Amino acid sequence: MRYVREHGVITNKAYRELTRVIDRTALRDLNDLCMRGIFSKQGKKGRATEYVMVKKNPDNPYINPK
């Protein structure tokens, strides 16, 4: 979370380097954060996918970053 706040985005590669997990674990973790409404995928696909933090939206109760 701190990395994304400081840099604005995180990639699968950066996440793997920070957490020292394998590619599948990183993808599973990042997808889980997206499903929880904490991160959102940015327009790119494949290796270029970037994840950004979702801002809290009081109009949408389903998006509630923790």
Q: What is the pLDDT of residues 13-50, one digit of tens each?
A: 999 999 999 999 999 999 999 999 999 998 777 778 99
For residue 19, the tally of other CB atoms under 10 A from its CB is 12
> Which fold would CATH assign to domain 2-53?
Arc Repressor Mutant, subunit A (1.10.10)
Find the DSSP H helices in 1-66: 2-7, 12-19, 23-35
Stated pTM of the model = 0.76
